[in-house]
Amino acid sequence: MRRALEEGRKGLGLTAPNPAVGCVIVNSRGHVIGKGYHAKAGGDHAEIAALKTVTDSADLKGSTVYVTLEPCAAEGKTPSCAHTLAALPIQRVVFGCQDPNPAMAGGQKVLVDAGIQCDQWGPLKRECLELAEVFICNQSAKRSFVHVKVGASLDGQIALKSGESQWITSESSREQVQVLRGQSDAVLVGRGTFEQDNPRLNSRSDQFINKTNIAVIIDPKGGVISQLSESRLLEVRPSEKVFVIVHEGFLGESENCKILRCPEVQGQLDLKVAMQALLAEGVHSVLVEGGGTTISQFFNQGLVDRLTVFMAPKIIGAAGGQSWTKGLSIDGLENAICLPEMKMTQLGSNFCLSSGMFTDTWLKGD
């Protein structure tokens, strides 16, 4: 299953609206005879991709198929994987997590009815859910998946008071951010970050050289719209891939972007409505890059599904810096936001901390 997860991660950011899925096939002697992953929507699902790598079909007799997501039961743009597997002389199918899409779920029953042993394997369930977390969020919450990315000093500052922020984190961290951008459909910032940095918000990772992601700006009054024609956003993408989220009372129009109008909730734009609107536009995942006010609003509205923090061994100080939680406040330790199962990796002198908050919620409700 770990090897199936490795395969599935190759499709991250490339499969929307479908999930990233990996598959490994092991023959009766315990040897890997096939492996594959879902590479793009409309293309082969992971099980079919893995079957195509099997050089001797006789090896399938008595084999075991490991797949990170329950094989689909219904036919969509591609044939049903469960029915395809059911017609083969395989002995067992092991899947990591169930398919949350009611239109495609039920693959386990199809296989069992065909006399094939089929069961869910628990030890790597969290990892399999994380691989499909964007898809699961889209299906269950009916909105875009929200991934908050932070690059900060050891004491939580993302910039100086002047706005200077280049570079707090290391080159290795910044390279990984480019991968995260590519793995997301859109990159989102608030008005302040747009005006301070004039960013491109595209991925410069070689893994996503053929992908153009969407840029999203939150600006209730819509003032940034008049600045778009001179911005770097339009240097790397067409205007239809730029979205500006404004208050529902905004009356302006623009040829340089798509305008999404949202109501207020407790004096702030209702970001849940905004994420629902983005999903309706085909944006399945959003990487939120700042600034502190925007990040805090997503936390305040309970919309953070994954948090990734790149932390540099530097101390800036609260008096001279800008905190990434500057708009977030709690009135007691019992109300602190507790992060589940945070994973840490080292990137040169920096540390990367990541927590799948949506996955934890899904596990508790499963």
Give CA–CA dist 20/49, Å, rounded: 13
CA gap 134, 305 in Å, rounded:
9
Q: Are 62 and 99 in contact (CB under 8 A)?
A: no
Beta strand extents in the chain (DSSP E only):
22-26, 32-37, 64-69, 92-97, 117-120, 145-153, 157-160, 186-190, 214-218, 242-247, 258-262, 264-265, 268-269, 285-290, 306-312, 321-323, 343-347, 350-356
Q: State yes or no: is 264 an active-site residue.
A: no
DSSP state of 253: -
Residue 25: both structure tokens together: 């096939």
What gap in Å lies between CA 66 and CA 95, rounded to an integer?
Answer: 6
Q: Supply angle C-alpha 244, 17, 274, rounded to 5.
A: 25
In residues, how long is the chain? Answer: 366
Q: Which of 47, 127, 130, 289 is catalytic?
A: 47
Distance of alpha carbon 213 from alpha carbon 187, whole angstroms: 7
How far is CA 229 from each of CA 188, 238, 251, 255, 324, rounded to the nearest angstrom? Answer: 18, 11, 19, 9, 29
Which active-site residues does the annotation give?
47
